[in-house]
Each structure stands twice: as structure tokens, then as C-alpha cells.
Structure 1
């Protein structure tokens, strides 16, 4: 059994996958690209870069990660997205902590770069993600399809060194992904039997804008912090209720 294997979930990530694998090469014991049917060159590029490629039809993110966790033969699994890059400092820290077995999983901070700007606050930094998992002590909650939740049979720890996350290359990409998240949140509200009320369309956006800009310190990002607070107030505060009102929380 290998000690540490990195798993990268992909679909049509030809523009990212080579650099992602390169940032992992030499310090993990293997790289598995867990692909959900790419129709670009993702799989070919990954194989050329020395990664193992496994194709599995996509149902949801939690199921994909759990399937990889079940299948990959390693003590530790390090989940990395194709648009993320590991640094040498992170590599050194990961190898150090897994040698101690002090925790069942570790939260990894991310430095989020959005359309060329590195966000410093507003919920985008340090942006911890539970990605380094001891395989025999971790399980993904199947009910949480997006922004997955991991259950650990043991203590958790926090790393200091960050993944670099090239989050959105363009604003068009950002808006497309936020519409997806808004629709997902609308489905959650619908499943809970929540119906939109007039005050939701005012109070929820205000709460989200305040949370992003004040509570989470988005003001430190200047104009970018204002922009992100307003955009996410729209997508997370207003749109889910608008979708519910329109009666179309579709998948």
C-alpha cells in the first residue's frame, strides 16, 4: 500500500491538468485523475504526465470523492482540484504531518485568485478545505452533493501552507458557476419545504452582503471586496428565493 496518493477530480480540464500534476510530482507516491467523461484532451495529457486515469460517470461531487476514497490503495488521500496548485512548502508540511498520524484528516487553506486578483478576505481567505484524509478514517456524507462534508473517525488538524486556487479565469465563468450554486441552494430550500416570503428578497441579500463585506472582512479587498459582496448577496441571498418563487428549482 502506498503512503500518500493525490486524487484530482476532472471533467474537461485540459487547460489545467498538466500544471496541477506537475505541482504534485515528486512528493506524492502517485497521482490518480478521477475523470467523469472528459471529451477534451484531459485524459491523454494526464497519462502523458504520469498519472493513472480512472473514468467514472458523474453523479455528484460527494459520490465521486467517496468512490475514489474507496478505490485508491493508499493510507492517505490528498484531494486536489485541477485548478489548484501545491507549493513546495505545502508538500513539505503534508509529508511531515502524515508521518505523525496525529489526526484523521487535515484542513488545507487556499489562496483564491479570481480573474487575476488574489482575494485576501470576504470568505475567500484562508478558505480551509478538508482535503488530506486518512483513508480508513474518512467518509463523505452522501446527502451533501456540493460543498461536500466529510465525517472523520478521529481528530482533525489544520495546515499552515496553502493550495493556490485559480478559482475563476473570467467573470463569465464566475457567473455561470454562481447560477449553478444558486439553483442548488434553491433545491435545498425546496426540500425543506421553505417558501419565499417578501422579506426574504430584502433581508437575505442584506445579510449576505454584510457577512461578506463586514463580518468576513471583505473591505480589505477594496473595490474587489465590494464587488464580491454585492455579487454573492445576489446569488446566495436573492436568487435561490427567486428560483423558488418561479417554481423551477431544477437540477
Structure 2
């Protein structure tokens, strides 16, 4: 078996059909679901995936489990809100059939926000290492957490290539979805900050992390990295991303304050 696709899911009935349709050419699709209450599992079965139901242990641990259930020589690890463009599908199929010498590849990710492709401000091409030989890589675990709670990354030691075409990230179709995710991710990010002792204990660090850092981040990405070229959607994305940073440090301070 040449190519296995690994996906973890939770209530992804709106996104999953796009994702699975874009990888139906793969030799195997493994979906690990953590208790969806919508039609996610039904859709996965209908579109040819092998579904495994497993309680949620954390992002990295769940994705590593999904990889461990794959049989292919190559693993394509996707989020349930991502899809391959037709050009990327063709490139992957053609390249892997030739037995390439490199063991891992970055995919250029095209992030959509409120339906708009965000091309500036550091959001594109947003390369993600997602395609690799099964024995060559996995999702890294941190010393502070058995499973990293957010922003999991693939651990790979070696030369990696970058493919030419895009992985489309249908990230946030509505502001309510984005705000809900950022509230949850800022809490998970705060846990990492607490584990590292970065809890803004002094007044100076508190002011810096809660106010100055987010403001500087917004100015840098929106103006100097040309985020303003992405219209109203770009303005909202950079404004709320800076707010997420402030929330993260504020929640870390609050958690430490309770100890």
C-alpha cells in the first residue's frame, strides 16, 4: 500500500465531505473520531474511510494514533477542514509513484477567512509538513505535556522538500467560529505558558504581554507585511489574532494567580 491519509475528527460534517473527496484516490483513508454527535462518522463511512472511534487524548497523541493505524508507505496527515487542490492531488500521485529520495514534504497552505484567501501578513504560503514516509516522522510531544494541547508540530530530522501547489484550509467561514476557536486555543496556549513559567508576574511583563506585544504584532503583520491588502477580512483577522495573543497571556496570568 503506497499512500494512507490520516484525519482526526470531532463534529466535522460540514467540512469532511470536501476533505475526503479530495483524497479519494489514496489507497487508504483512516479517520479517528473522538465522539462526534453529528453526521461525521456516517459521512466518513459513506466516502470510503475506515473509522476508528477513540476518546480525545490531545492533538498530538490523537494524530500519532491515527498514523499508527495506517498501512501505507507514505502518510498524508490532514485536518478535517483542509482539502487538496486538483493540481496538488496530481503532483502527489505522480511524485510518489516515482519513489522520491526525500522522506518528507511541506505543503503550501492557502488559508481562507470568511471565505477569502488571505495572501498577506504572514498567512501565505504557510508551509506545513504533512506528507512523509510512515517511519520518518510523527507529531512531537513536549516535555511539559505528554500530549501538546495546541499547535502540534511534526518532528522530522532530515531534508524536506516543498510541493508546488496548495492545500486549502477552509478555516473560519464565520466570525463566530473564529472567536469560539480563538477562545479555546487561547486557553490551551495559556496552559503552555504556565508550564514554561511565562505568567506575566511583574507589572512590566503584564503590560508588555497583554497590551504591547499584541499591538506590535498587529502593526507588523497588517502594515509591514501588507496584511491591509486583504481588505476587510484581513483587517478583522489581524485585529482578532492580536486579541488572541492578549487573551492567551491574560489567561496564563489568571491561572497562575489562582495557584
Same fold (TM over 0.5): yes
Q: Is contact 1:243–1:249 with CA below 8 Å preserved after alignment?
A: no
Match of 2:145 in 1: none
| 1:121-162: CA deviation from partner (whole Å, max 9, x where unpaired) | 123211211111110111221223322121224311111111
Gap change, CA 1:28 and 1:198, over 3 Å in 2: same
Change beyond 3 A, Cα 1:249–1:139: farther
The 1:192–1:137 alpha-carbon spacing in structure 2 relative to 1, beyond 3 Å, is same
Mapping for residues 145-224 of structure 1, pairs under 5 Å: 145-196=149-200, 197-224=206-233
Quote the offset at 1:232 in angstroms: 1.1
Q: Which residue number corresponds to residue 122 of structure 1?
A: 121
Matches of residues 38-117 of structure 1 in structure 2 within 5 Å? 38-98=36-96, 99-117=98-116
- 8 Å CA contact 1:186–1:249 kept in 2: the answer is no
Structure 1 residue 119: deviation in Å? 1.0
* 1:247 counterpart SS class: helix
Task: Judge which range, 49-58 or 91-100, deviates more.
Answer: 91-100
Q: Is 1:240 equivalent to 2:244 in the alignment?
A: no
1:72 CA displacement: 0.9
1:63 CA displacement = 0.6
CA contact (8 A) 2:32 2:51 kept: yes
Question: Could you list the runs of 5+ residues in structure 1 that have no partner in the other structure?
Answer: none
Map of 1:140 onto structure 2: 139
SS at match of 2:253: helix
Contact persistence 2:7–2:66 (CA under 8 A):
no
Tell me if structure 1 keeps the 8 A contact 2:199–2:256: no
Alpha-carbon distance between aligned partners in 2 of 1:186 and 1:50, rounded to the nearest angstrom: 38
Q: CA deviation at 1:248?
A: 6.7
Which structure 2 segments of 5+ residues have no match? 143-147, 201-205
Pairwise CA distance, 1:3: 0.3
**Residue 28 of structure 2 is aligned to residue 30 of structure 1:** yes
1:88 and 1:212 mapped to 2: Cα distance?
30
Could you list the per-position Cα deviations for residues 97-132 of structure 1 after superposition, in whole angstroms to 9, with x for gaps in the alignment? 323432221111121111122211123211211111
